[in-house]
A = this chain, B = another copy of it.
Amino acid sequence: MSLSFLGHLRVIESSAFIAAPLAGLTLAQFGADVIRVDLIGGGIDYGRLPVMPSGRSLYWTALNKEKRSIAVDLRKPEGREIVRALVTAGGDDAGILLTNIVTPWLAHASLAEHRSDLISCTIEGNPDGSTAVDYTVNCATGYPSITGAGSPAAPVNHVLPAWDIACALQAAFSIVAAVERRRRTGQGAELRLALSDVAFSMLSHLGITGEAELQQQDRPAIGNYIYGAFGRDFGTADGQRVIVAAISSGQWTALVKACEVHTQMAVLEQTLRLDFSREGDRYQAREAIAEVIDAWCKSRTFTQVRQAFDANRVCWGLYRTTRDLLENDSRVGVTNPIWERVLTPGIGSHLSAATPVRAGNEDRTAVAPAPLLGQHTDEILQQVLGLDSPAIGRLHDAGVVAGPERDPSMPGFRQG
C-alpha cells in the first residue's frame, strides 16, 4: 500500500477496465482498504492482454495490486445483497463505493436508504450515461489531428490512455474530498464523473477551448515541436535520439551555450527581427533554430551531446523504449524507493511501482501483489459482515461466493 495516510478507510470497488480500478489503486496506495467485488471466474477484463502463460493478465494484476478481493455471483440476489451490505456496513471509515458499473441494485439512492452518509463515485462514459472509452472520447478533442504527422483526414491516436488516467485520479481526489467533508459535516455524497467531461474540461483548463473559440483557430499541427517555445527531437551521429526543451529563458541560454551557437542565433535574430530571449519569438523561429541545433547534434556522438548538455544544465531527455528504460535508466529500479520487486501469483517476480508520492521519512509498507479472485472472500465476510464459519460455508456451498480455488489462472491454488 506504500503510504498510510488514508488509515482504515474502506472502499468497495466494483469495476472493470482502467479508470475505476486505477482510482481504487490510487486510494489503496495511500493506505485505504480497497475491496474489489470480483465475479467468480473473473469479470470482463480479467484476461485482458498482455497475459502470462498461466493465463493471468499483466494488465489486470498491475491495476489491481494493493487490493483485497471477494468473489461473488452477482446474478444471484443473495450475492447482490452481500455487496450492498459491504457498501453500507457501519463505521466512520466505511460506506464508500467506487464503480464504473451502473446497475439499479448499486444505485446511490437505494444504498443511501441503508446508510444516509454514503459516498459513492460512479465513473461513466458520457454524462448521459452512454458508453464511451478513452479512444472514442479522445477522437473528439482535436488532439489526434495535431499529433505527429496527423491531420483531420489522417488522425493519430495517442497510445497512453491519458483520459482514463485523468479520470481515475480525479475520481480518487473527489472521493477523498468527500470523505474529508463527511468527517467535518457527516454528509454523504453522490459523485458522478464522465470520461468525456474529464477530457473536454481539461481542454478548457489548458486554454485549448478558449483559443478555438476566441481566436477561431485550432492549435496547429507542428509534429514534435513544443508549442509556444523552442523544443524538438534531434538525432545524434551514433543513432540516438534526444529531445531538447528550451521553455524558460534559462533553458534557452543553456542550450545556446551547450551548442556554442551564440553567433548563429544572433545572426538569425537579426535576420528575422526577433528576440530569442522571448519564448514566443523562439517558437516563431523554431524551424530556423532547429536547423542549427540539428546540425550540431548530428555531428556528435550521444556521449558528446550528453556531456555538453549536462555540463550546461540543458533541459533534455533521451528517447527510450520501455525495455531500455527498465534496463538503463536509474530512475526506474529498486534504487528508487518508489520501486520494489513484487511476487504476483501466476505472474512471477517483477518490478512494481508504489505511489509516486514521497512523504518525508514516513514509513512505506511493501506493495501487495494483486489478489487472486476471491482470495479474501472469507476474511471479508467475517470481518466486515460478521459472518461465522458455518454461514460462510453455506454461501460457498450455494455458489454465492467463492475463494481463490475458482480463479481460472490458479487452478491448483489452496486445493485440498
Contacts and interface: CB of A to CB of B under 8 A. Distances in A.
Interface stretch (A69-77, A83-91, A189-197): A189-197
Given A191-B359, A358-B192, A318 B183 contact: no
Interface of A is mostly: mixed
Contacts of A127: 331, 336, 338, 358
Given A52-B214, A173-B169, A231-B135, A338 B197 contact: yes
Q: How many copies does the complex hold?
A: 2
Nearest to A162: B162
Contacts of A62: 204-207, 210
A354 to B, nearest CB: 7
A200 to B, nearest CB: 5
Nearest to A217: B323
A211 B208 CA distance: 35
Contacts of A352: 204, 209-210
Nearest to A316: B136
A131 B44 CA distance: 41
A332 B209 contact: yes
Interface residues of A, number: 152
A290 interface: no
Contact of A169 (B50, B166, B194, B197): B166
Contact of A241 (B153, B223, B235): B153
Contact of A153 (B63, B212, B239, B336): B239
Contact of A180 (B179, B200, B321): B179
A209 B351 contact: yes
A416 to B, nearest CB: 29
A232 to B, nearest CB: 9
Contacts of A201: 338, 353-356
Contacts of A214: 52, 58, 347-348, 350
B159 A241 contact: no
A324 B6 CA distance: 43
Contacts of A239: 153
A140 B320 CA distance: 5
Contact of A357 (B174, B196, B213): B174
A13 to B, nearest CB: 15
Nearest to A203: B322
A218 B319 CA distance: 14
A63 to B, nearest CB: 6
Contact of A136 (B7, B177, B210, B315): B315
A116 interface: no
A270 interface: no
30 contacts: A5-B180, A5-B181, A25-B205, A48-B229, A48-B279, A50-B207, A58-B210, A59-B206, A62-B205, A63-B207, A142-B323, A148-B149, A148-B150, A149-B149, A152-B241, A152-B319, A157-B233, A162-B162, A162-B166, A165-B165, A165-B166, A179-B180, A180-B180, A192-B358, A193-B358, A194-B358, A201-B353, A209-B325, A209-B351, A212-B325
Given A136-B316, A203-B322, A213-B350, 17 more contacts: A50-B207, A61-B210, A62-B205, A127-B336, A135-B243, A136-B243, A136-B317, A145-B319, A165-B166, A166-B166, A169-B169, A180-B180, A193-B358, A197-B338, A204-B351, A212-B322, A216-B323
